[in-house]
């Protein structure tokens, strides 16, 4: 295995491990957020941080419905195209 391949293999494995840890952290974040939001609207103080809970209503546009009512030509004229790079990981089977 060349040095480049070793670095790539290492980067792939480290990224996979990091994403797994992030998933655990997000799950814990959700649990803690639930504890706080169950208190209701208000401001709550910890030792280091303060949390504010706000309750409201957000309006969103139902794009599926909008697309059904607008012409394909209109949608194409008003669609922004943005380049991106995607890295998708999957665990290796042992």
**C-alpha 49, offset from chain centre:** 23
Does residue 20 sit within a domain? yes
Residue-number span of the structural domain to which 70 is assigned:
3-77
pTM check: above 0.75: no
Does residue 82 sit within a domain? no
Does residue 47 sit within a domain? yes
Counted domains in the chain: 1
Does residue 15 sit within a domain? yes
Does residue 57 sit within a domain? yes
pLDDT in tens, the chain (94 residues): 687 788 999 999 999 999 999 999 999 999 999 999 999 999 999 999 999 999 998 999 998 998 899 998 998 999 999 998 887 877 778 7
Does residue 50 sit within a domain? yes
Does residue 53 sit within a domain? yes
Q: Do 53 and 41 form a contact (C-beta atoms < 8 A)?
A: yes
Does residue 90 sit within a domain? no
16 CB burial (10 A radius; 0-12, 13-18, 19+): middle
């Amino acid at each position: 295995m060349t040095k480049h391949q070793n670095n790539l293999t290492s980067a792939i494995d480290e990224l996979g491990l990091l994403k797994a840890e992030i998933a655990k952290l997000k799950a814990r974040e959700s649990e803690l957020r639930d504890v706080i939001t169950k208190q209701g609207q208000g401001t709550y103080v910890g030792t280091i941080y303060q949390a504010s809970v706000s309750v409201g209503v957000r309006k969103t546009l139902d794009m599926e419905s909008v697309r059904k009512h607008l012409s394909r030509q209109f949608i194409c004229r008003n669609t922004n195209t943005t380049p991106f790079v995607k890295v998708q990981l999957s665990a290796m089977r042992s």
